């Protein structure tokens, strides 16, 4: 082998010829080649095993998973496993669209991934070796992305896996020297990527959906994660009610995301009867107000002295207080208090105009040219679907006087941003979040605010879907004649009875249900929602 990055000092390894059949290989840029007899008639079979624990652990994994099996046998087993997993949804519809759907479903099942040896040992966040008890340990927690739709999807179609994921997160918290849940952790390491403490959302939604999780331990971990004063402006946030941009360049986006995270803690504490915690976090959940400039109705970068940063640009993704996004997109991130958000933006009429403008205005390249994960392929107007902060926005019309616009724009996003081709995805899939959005939207609803039991109604993408909820329970979604032209919802029935709300509850479908949409080529502008029929908001 050849190490293409020669070490500055090799010590007394120099006594060996390391590059010719030496039994140890280590380095940063290694190239190796193996030679075999070309005249041998049998195909060459190489079996490789991995372990984060030990060489012996890798050997155990190899024997347990491959001993006595040929390549063809193992390949057949893998095919059967994937067919079983992907069979969770049955669809009637166009083959091209079905291919896109099942590709997306496949993407949602890659990560998080199992992280332990066959004997249940794994290397934890403290780099010690741990033995699992009563769950399967998972890793790859890209939580800034996946709290939005991927984990809520698991709570619907793969509850056992979701339970194991949450227990893995709590184990991470217990091993963490910071006593914090995962931010972006993988393979026994925390890389602290992106912002927020969004594992609290994952735990809150799992508890809301009735998963078998220790409620008190979960709340303890959530509270601890939200009080790490030295983490990403948390100390300033607790003291000032916002993260100032002169202390943290992403301060305004952090403030918005912390506010939502704190709402999940409030809601969880309220449900399990801890009123003192609920009261404290209800106040923190309204901190988003502190970064809204009421003069313009947008979120702005605010300084530690209370003044607004000047000058400012609502389109720029640089130097304006936001990470991987601009004010126009981030100002809509108040999923737990949309009624409060509408008020901040100047009322229903102004809010609808803002939503319309977001999807139709032009965003020049100069405002995102140097921004990671924001590219022209993922931009529609000024709406950025190729990155996660905007994924809920098309569903916000449900709180307004023009809810039918959700039905129009969701289908536009699906058609433009997801295509059955080699470059068919408009952005980084980010461990399944981009694809989970597609799966939910194809079903005709979306979890705008994980932690509530509500899914906001849009419109189905296929004429028929049958979703396996587990334990012999199925959700059937019918939308006869649905198409790009017939994209509007005329009426909805739940289990054969007229349904008039803008959302469905998890309890409505968890034991199996039939959701029927009557479609139309024109919007039903009489299908409006009164205050009791609109989705949840913290503010009344």
Q: What is the pLDDT along the chain (540 residues), one digit of tens a residue?
A: 778 888 888 889 889 988 888 888 888 898 888 888 878 778 888 999 999 999 999 999 999 999 999 999 999 999 999 999 999 999 999 999 999 999 999 999 999 999 999 999 999 999 999 999 999 999 999 999 999 999 999 999 999 999 999 999 999 999 999 999 999 999 999 999 999 999 999 999 999 999 999 999 999 999 999 999 999 999 999 999 999 999 999 999 999 999 999 999 999 999 999 999 999 999 999 999 999 999 999 999 999 999 999 999 999 999 999 999 999 999 999 999 999 999 999 999 999 999 999 999 999 988 998 888 888 889 999 999 999 999 999 999 999 999 999 999 999 999 999 999 988 999 899 999 999 999 999 999 999 999 999 999 999 999 999 999 999 999 999 999 999 999 999 999 999 999 999 999 999 999 999 999 999 999 999 999 999 999 999 998
Beta-bridge mates of residue 185: 141, 190
**Domains in the chain: ranges and CATH:** 2-75 (no CATH), 120-231 (1.20.1050.60)
- Of 388, 374, 380, nearest to 411 by C-alpha is 380
On the 0-12 / 13-18 / 19+ scale of CB atoms within 10 A, 386 is: buried
State residue 38's pLDDT score: 79
Predicted TM-score of the model (pTM): 0.96
Q: Report H helices in 300-395.
A: 327-330, 338-344, 348-360
On the 0-12 / 13-18 / 19+ scale of CB atoms within 10 A, 48 is: exposed
State residue 4's pLDDT score: 84
Q: How far apart are CA 324 and CA 368, in angstroms?
A: 9
Buried b (16+ CB within 10 A) or exposed e, 65-88: ebeeeeeeeeeeeeeeeeeeeeeb
| H or E element in which residue 299 lies | strand 298-299
State residue 219's pLDDT score: 98
Beta-bridge mates of residue 30: 3
State residue 40's pLDDT score: 75
State residue 77's pLDDT score: 97
State residue 24's pLDDT score: 87
Beta strand 113-114 with 138-139: parallel, antiparallel or unpaired?
Answer: antiparallel
Q: How far apart are CA 293 and CA 291, in angstroms?
A: 6
Q: What's the sign of the alpha-carbon dihedral 455, 499, 211, 475?
A: negative
Q: Who contacts 361 (Cβ-Cβ below 8 Å, separation ≥6)?
A: 381, 382
């Amino acid at each position: 082998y050849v190490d293409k990055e020669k070490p500055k000092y090799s010590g007394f390894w120099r006594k060996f010829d390391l590059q010719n059949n030496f039994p140890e290989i280590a380095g940063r840029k290694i190239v190796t080649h193996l030679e075999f007899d070309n005249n041998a008639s049998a195909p060459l079979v190489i079996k490789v095993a991995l372990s984060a624990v030990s060489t012996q652990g890798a050997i155990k994994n190899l024997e347990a998973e491959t001993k006595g099996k040929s390549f063809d046998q193992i390949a057949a087993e893998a095919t059967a496993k994937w067919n079983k997993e992907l069979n969770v949804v049955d669809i009637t519809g166009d083959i091209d669209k079905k291919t896109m759907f099942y590709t997306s479903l496949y993407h949602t099942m890659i990560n998080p991934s199992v992280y332990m040896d066959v004997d249940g040992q794994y290397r934890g966040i403290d780099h010690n070796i741990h033995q699992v008890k009563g769950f399967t340990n998972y890793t790859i927690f890209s939580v800034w992305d996946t709290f939005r739709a991927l984990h809520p999807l698991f709570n619907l179609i793969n509850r056992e896996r979701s339970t194991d994921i949450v227990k893995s997160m709590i184990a991470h918290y217990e091993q963490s020297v910071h006593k914090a849940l995962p931010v972006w952790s993988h393979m026994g390491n925390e890389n602290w990527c992106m912002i927020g403490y969004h594992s609290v959302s994952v735990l809150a939604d799992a508890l809301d959906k009735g998963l078998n999780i220790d409620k008190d331990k979960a709340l303890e971990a959530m509270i601890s994660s939200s009080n790490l004063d030295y983490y990403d402006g948390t100390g300033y946030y607790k003291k000032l009610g916002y993260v100032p941009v002169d202390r943290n360049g992403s301060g305004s986006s952090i403030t918005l995301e912390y506010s939502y995270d704190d709402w999940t803690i409030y809601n969880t504490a309220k449900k399990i009867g801890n009123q003192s915690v609920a009261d404290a976090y209800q106040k923190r959940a309204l901190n988003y107000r502190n970064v809204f400039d009421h003069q313009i109705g947008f979120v702005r970068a605010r300084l530690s002295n209370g003044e607004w940063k000047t000058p400012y640009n609502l389109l720029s993704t640089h130097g304006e207080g936001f990470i991987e996004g601009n004010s126009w997109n981030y100002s809509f991130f108040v999923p737990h208090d949309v009624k409060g958000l509408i008020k901040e933006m100047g009322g229903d009429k102004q809010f609808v105009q803002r939503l319309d403008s977001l999807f139709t205005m032009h965003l020049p390249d100069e405002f995102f040219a140097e921004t990671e994960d924001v590219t022209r392929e993922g931009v529609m107007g000024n709406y950025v679907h190729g990155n996660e902060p905007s994924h809920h926005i098309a569903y916000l019309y449900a709180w307004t006087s023009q809810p039918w616009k959700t039905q129009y724009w969701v289908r536009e996003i699906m058609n433009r941003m997801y295509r059955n081709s080699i470059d068919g995805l408009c952005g980084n899939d980010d461990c399944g979040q981009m694809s989970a959005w597609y799966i939910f939207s194809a079903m005709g609803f979306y979890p705008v605010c994980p932690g509530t039991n509500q899914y906001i109604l849009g419109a189905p993408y296929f004429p028929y879907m049958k979703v396996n909820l587990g334990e012999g329970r199925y959700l059937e979604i019918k939308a006869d004649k649905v198409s790009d032209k017939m994209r509007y919802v005329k009426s909805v029935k739940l289990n054969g009875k007229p349904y008039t709300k803008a959302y469905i509850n998890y309890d409505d479908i968890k034991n199996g249900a039939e959701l029927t949409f009557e479609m139309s080529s024109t919007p039903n502008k009489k299908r409006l929602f009164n205050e009791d029929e609109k989705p949840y908001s913290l503010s009344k």
